[in-house]
Structure formats: structure tokens, C-alpha cells
């Protein structure tokens, strides 16, 4: 799956999408692999291409959500703040993701503020839906 085919990027300028694609790299993980742990430096934003991932809080033994739909975004601590991931991720199946470095995301959207507004609104919507699911 390409970035341009992900619903998350619908209505974002093609030039911006090309810049995002240029900065993405594909990573493949095996079932039971950890992509990141809570507290790790938040260096990448991820998009699920294939597979399933649990986002969880190890210390509370609580799964926040399971991602299993192509195009789902995770690891947004990398773009919200310069810091660390706030949850851990565990591959439930063999999994393929696209990752983009935090610095590349910031540079692209600093140069394209109109696309940034749409992008960050979508991140906020994803966060809100996941938070609602955890609370319910």
C-alpha cells in the first residue's frame, strides 16, 4: 500500500504526499516483535501496511487498542512532542509498516501549513477515537 492510497492522506496535496513517500521506509516485523516500547525515543511515525499490532501499557497490563486496518497511524508521540512513546507496540502477526522520521514530518509540514492543518486534524481525530474506546 502506498501513502497516496491511504484514506488518512485523502485530500492532501500530491506534492506533499510525494515528499512523505520519499521520506518513508518500509519495515517488516515478525509476530511477537516489538516496534517500540513506552519510554523509547519517539523518532518515527508509523503507518500500518499489513498485519496487526497491539498498543498497550505494560505496567497496567492493558491493551489500548489493536490496529489491523491498512493505513492506520501510530507512534504519534513523534510528531506531537519531542520526547518518548507513551505506549508500547507488539506485533500480533507478521507485520509490515511504513515509517517516517519525526524530523522529516516536521520539515514537510512546516513548508506546507495548509496540508499540516489537515494532517494534524486527522491525528487528533484518531487520538480522540482511541481515547473514547479506552474510556468506554
Reported as a single tens digit per residue, the pLDDT across 84-97 is 998 999 999 999 99
**Residue 91 CA: distances (Å) to CA of 7, 29, 55, 61, 87:** 22, 7, 9, 16, 13
Per-residue pLDDT at 14 exceeds 70: yes
The sheet carrying 53-57 orders its strands as: 62-67, 53-57, 88-91
Categorize the per-residue pLDDT at 133 as very low, low, confident or very high, splitting at 50, 70 and 90: low
pLDDT above 70 covers what percent of the chain?
93
| Residues forming a β-bridge with 28 | 96
Return mean pLDDT, the chain.
90
515478525: which residue's cell? 30
Q: How many residues does the chain have?
A: 136
Query: What mean pLDDT is predicted for residues 4-19?
Result: 91
Amino acid at each position: 500500500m502506498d501513502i497516496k492510497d491511504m484514506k488518512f492522506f485523502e485530500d492532501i496535496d500530491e506534492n506533499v504526499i510525494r515528499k512523505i513517500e520519499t521520506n518513508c521506509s518500509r519495515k517488516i516485523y515478525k509476530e511477537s516483535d516489538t516496534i517500540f516500547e513506552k519510554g523509547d525515543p519517539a523518532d518515527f511515525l508509523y503507518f500500518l501496511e499489513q498485519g496487526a499490532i497491539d498498543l498497550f501499557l505494560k505496567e497496567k497490563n492493558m491493551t489500548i487498542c489493536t490496529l489491523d486496518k491498512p493505513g492506520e497511524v501510530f507512534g504519534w508521540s513523534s510528531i506531537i512532542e519531542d520526547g518518548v512513546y507513551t505506549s508500547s507496540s507488539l506485533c500480533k502477526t507478521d507485520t509490515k509498516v511504513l515509517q517516517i522520521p519525526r524530523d522529516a514530518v516536521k520539515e514537510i509540514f512546516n513548508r506546507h501549513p495548509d496540508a499540516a492543518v489537515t494532517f494534524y486534524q486527522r491525528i487528533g481525530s484518531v487520538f480522540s477515537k482511541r481515547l473514547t474506546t479506552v474510556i468506554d
